[in-house]
Structure 1
Amino acid sequence: MKNGLLLLCALCLFIAGYPQDIDSPAPLLSPPEYPAAVVPESELNLPVQVDLAPFFALANKKVDTLFTSPRFPNDWVQQGCDTRYKYSFRRGPLQFSLKNTTLDIAFTGYYKIIGSTRACVNGKAVTPWTPACQCGVDEGERKVKVGFTIAISMLTNYTIKMQVTRKEPEPVDKCAVCFWGQDITPVIMDALKKELDGSKADLEKSYGRVDLKPHFQTLWNQLNAPYNINNMGWLQINPQKIRINSIQAAGSQLQINVGLAAKPVVRFEKPATAIAPVPHISNFSRNRGFQVYADLVMNYDSLSRILTSQIAGKEFTFSKAFIKKRFIFLECKLLGSRDNRLVMQVKFTGSNDGTFYVTGKPLYYADTKTLQVADVDFDIQSRNALLKTADWLFSKKITGEIEKMARYDLNQLLSTARTNMNQQLNRQFMKGISGSGSVRDIRVAGIFPQSGWLAVRAYCDGDFSLKVAALNL
């Protein structure tokens, strides 16, 4: 009997020490929760250039190059009984000058006049007409400075209003005809004013109001479209409101500085293009720069490789019923999320080979920019399975080592994201629309475990401008 008991004890010790595989069932992963970010309203600076060259060309066409008295040179203009004349006026090239919202159109005019006189009594001629006298014919044409002033404004419905004012002609050379040495320059200037007033009316009729709303609607649609950002997803500007900050001029370009209230976001999946009518120009408070949420991706495979490289080979020794148990980490792999906790698969060797699963809570520490998987504990299914086969594995040493090693420095991730965003902000988004800006600050706003990756939501702020190439009138 004594020998039988010894044999039974030896058999138990043999069975207890015999290595056997320990595999606990994998936990069911939860559907990923991915809350939408409450995007703050940002302000983007949007310099829009309006090309005035077509207007300049039209002005050259609308302002006549030649003014003459009726049916010149055959017929006369007669004022009263004693004087008659006929004239010709031609203009030089138009010169355009833009300053703020005022456009000056100036040119030099060249004129000549032929006239004669006779004696009259009580409105009746008593002598024949004298031989015709000339001014600006043999000695060269007389000069006069002429111009228009155009005040430019923009209405809330995207209509550019141009109010044209004729300047008073300024004669450079006076014209004294031979009969009595009479200065008839004022007579010529009055006739010229009537001709210029006709040109002014033509300009206001053609370009007094220019509707830019179709152009702004096209621009609005383009800003609502998603744009691919390399390695980061899809950027959507999401414009909300428009304000006119200022109107300036340079060369032939009218620059309208538009303040754009927007809610830009970066998404993993390509969003649908939003269709909305462009709102009227409004007033709203100014915000400095832009704020945007960008969701960065950390793949579980790369995170698992980092963790495994740090923990593989770590060994612990435990005692169970006077038997030494060795535990050696082989691999630690991140799988996904369950109830907003990261699920990790742990493969081990030693006294036994096997697999179990633990969960942990992803936490971010802003002071060190570190992601830590904290509160690591055995998954409930692994716990139940190990209670039946290998309860000796329940040790704070194991979960503590995983928690110690499951630490990730996000400095490089955020720095790379900042570099990528700066590169993507300073480029041409589409023909005629190019961006310019920089990210001042980027910081983590949330960690969201997904099915195949860990989403790191970054909050960025900086400055950004969109330059729109010239819109033709």
Structure 2
Amino acid sequence: MLPKSAHTSLIAWSLLLALTGCSISDGIIRPPKPAQLPAKQNLIAPAEDSAISVPIHVDLSAFLDAANDENLIPKKFDHWGSYLKTPKGAAYKYYAERDDFAMDRSGSQQSISTDQGTTLRDWWKGVDPPGSYVSISTALRYKIGTDPHITQCGDGNEWPRRAILNGNIAIGLTPNYGLSASVSSMAVNTTDPCKLHVADSDIFQEVNNRLTNGVHGGLNNAVARINAMTVKSHVEDVWNTLLKPIQLEPDAWLLLNIEKIRHAGFSGIGPVVDDTIQVMAKPVIVFGTEPPSAPAPLPQLDTQPASTEFHVVADAPMDYSTLSKALASRLKGARFSYKDDHIRITNASIYGNGGNQLVIRIDFSGDVQGHVYFVGTPEMNVLTQTVHIGGIRYDSATEKLLLKKADWIYGSAFRDFISNEAVLGVGPAIDRLRGLFTAALNRSINPTISMHGTVSSVQGVGVFADVNALYVRAMSDGALDLKVMGTR
């Protein structure tokens, strides 16, 4: 049995230790980790409609050969031996001859001048070719005489007067990718006009009409060669190729998500022209194992106007260890005071907690020691291209401990300080995607089809957090053309 004095001393020491332990415990904040939230699926929203331009070479030599066949379109228009009469009874005769037709630049309406004077004027009949067209032209030599012999144009020493015979062929694609063409207009464009009486203008109009109508009929027969052509097999090859995922890296894939096909028109000079189709897509880049590809039949040609823009969307993962190092580097050593109390940050880290929630852990020492947890939702600032933590707040367990043991931290501006400092730069992720986008759009898909694209800009447009990484969603702007071999 202890002496009375020893017993008293033991009680005193026990009381002192208890009081000291209470004091130490009151200065330590160590809440548990926030409970993990249920997983939320991160679906990549496809980009806006993007156009993949695919020029397909179309050889119109058969049409041009038919246009130069004298059995379809004469090379000489000889009415010099006998007089003809206009509806008003005026007598006239004419002779004209042409060279072989050649194909001019195709694609857009050419500007044709009109002389409203007394010369053999241009005559387009007020018809503008709808949509795409191909044009042919040839040199024309002519002379005109009247009875009585008051006016002679291009006869004798004046032979020949010169003109250009122009034909415009409206051309397009049917819903099933067959070529469809029709003669839109014929015109005689004089290059060496005669000076004639105004009273004779109806004669010259009659000659003009006879020439253009005669050629128009022959061209209608020549155009049948175009209407027998189709580009369906070439379009189908492109369609089936673009349905498949395109591997960019061992774990990166380009999914074009093609939906429709539109027609951009014809262009080029010569019998071989480019018929440009546009495959409408909503491209994304995904990471991981090869995604499945689903076959889809070639759709009918869409009638909406074509465009030239091309966008790709991708989610770039940013690992939490790298983000934590950057955050700790910014916050370590920061001192925060409130009246006579202070803390100094010793470490900082960030991780995903499921459900698109981020958790920030701040470790500190000073008048209070331990750590606290903040939670919030990542938000992309598209102007600064940075990620902020929206709705940042203490988690519930941290809040209870602070209110109990260190309400001066809870009630101060410490949360606002962390909110302002917890800004995550996404430059490395955007730079990686820029390189990936450029590489993705410039490669061979197979031995006959290759992609040639440009990336004008890449911008972060969204962000998503899961337990594995913080995903930065970026979209590129640019253009994409496909080169198809062997389509003539």
TM-score under structure 1 length normalisation: 0.59
> 1:287 matched to which residue of 2?
307
Which of these residues, 276, 279, 283, is aligned with residue 264 of structure 1? 283
Q: Deviations over 1:371-421 (max 9, x none)?
A: 222432211133345556665653544323321221123455435533432
> 2:319 matched to which residue of 1?
299
> 1:45 matched to which residue of 2?
53
Query: What's the CA shift for 1:307?
Result: 0.4
Q: Secondary structure at the match of 1:245?
A: strand
> 1:22 matched to which residue of 2?
30
Q: Secondary structure at the match of 1:471?
A: coil
Q: Secondary structure at the match of 1:440?
A: strand
Change (3 A) 1:288 1:14: same
Which of these residues, 211, 223, 229, is aligned with residue 242 of structure 2? 223
Q: Secondary structure at the match of 1:304?
A: helix
Distance 1:312 1:382 in 2: 20
Please show how residues 307-386 of structure 1 align to structure 2 within 5 Å. 307-316=327-336, 327-350=343-366, 354-385=370-401
Amino acid at match of 1:465: D
Amino acid at match of 2:379: L
Amino acid at match of 2:283: P
> 2:40 matched to which residue of 1?
32
Query: What's the CA shift for 1:210?
Result: 5.4
> 1:188 matched to which residue of 2?
none
Please show how residues 51-62 of structure 1 align to structure 2 within 5 Å. none
Residue 436 in structure 1 maps to residue 452 in structure 2: yes
Q: Secondary structure at the match of 2:485?
A: strand
> 2:265 matched to which residue of 1?
246
Answer yes or no: is the 8 Å Cα contact 1:238–1:263 preserved in 2: yes
Q: Secondary structure at the match of 1:328?
A: strand
Distance 1:157 1:404 in 2: 59
Q: Secondary structure at the match of 2:467?
A: coil
Return the structure number with greater strand share. Answer: 1
Query: What's the CA shift for 1:311?
Result: 0.9
Change (3 A) 1:14 1:325: farther
The percent identity for this pair of structures is 26
Change (3 A) 1:17 1:288: same
Bigger radius of gyration among the two: 1
| 11-20 or 436-445, larger mean C-alpha shift | 11-20
Distance 1:157 1:14 in 2: 86
Answer yes or no: is the 8 Å Cα contact 1:314–1:329 preserved in 2: yes
Q: Secondary structure at the match of 1:28?
A: coil
Change (3 A) 1:365 1:39: closer
Query: What's the CA shift for 1:306?
Result: 0.7
Residue 273 in structure 1 maps to residue 293 in structure 2: yes
Distance 2:35 2:60 in 1: 68
Answer yes or no: is the 8 Å Cα contact 2:56–2:275 preserved in 1: yes
Please show how residues 65-80 of structure 1 align to structure 2 within 5 Å. none
Distance 1:20 1:249 in 2: 79
Change (3 A) 1:162 1:365: closer
Query: What's the CA shift for 1:434?
Result: 1.9
TM-score under structure 2 length normalisation: 0.58
Query: What's the CA shift for 1:36?
Result: 4.4
Distance 2:474 2:429 in 1: 10
Change (3 A) 1:238 1:331: same
Residue 465 in structure 1 maps to residue 470 in structure 2: no
Answer yes or no: is the 8 Å Cα contact 1:24–1:385 preserved in 2: no
Answer yes or no: is the 8 Å Cα contact 1:232–1:295 preserved in 2: no
> 2:128 matched to which residue of 1?
none
Distance 1:462 1:409 in 2: 24
Query: What's the CA shift for 1:338?
Result: 5.0
Distance 2:343 2:456 in 1: 48
| 351-360 or 8-17, larger mean C-alpha shift | 8-17
Answer yes or no: is the 8 Å Cα contact 2:256–2:284 preserved in 1: yes
Query: What's the CA shift for 1:366?
Result: 3.0
Distance 2:430 2:367 in 1: 42
Q: Secondary structure at the match of 1:16?
A: helix
Distance 2:406 2:302 in 1: 71
Q: Secondary structure at the match of 1:277?
A: coil
Distance 1:162 1:339 in 2: 58
Q: Deviations over 1:3-23 (max 9, x none)?
A: 999995785246413776734
Change (3 A) 1:217 1:289: same
Q: Secondary structure at the match of 1:452?
A: coil
> 2:4 matched to which residue of 1?
none
Change (3 A) 1:232 1:310: farther
Residue 427 in structure 1 maps to residue 436 in structure 2: no
Q: How many residue pairs get matched? A: 347
Distance 1:47 1:401 in 2: 57
> 2:120 matched to which residue of 1?
none
Q: Deviations over 1:351-384 (max 9, x none)?
A: 5653432112323333322322243221113334
Q: Secondary structure at the match of 2:261?
A: strand
Query: What's the CA shift for 1:312?
Result: 1.6
Residue 236 in structure 1 maps to residue 255 in structure 2: yes
Query: What's the CA shift for 1:250?
Result: 6.5
> 2:433 matched to which residue of 1?
417
Please show how residues 111-190 of structure 1 align to structure 2 within 5 Å. 155-159=174-178
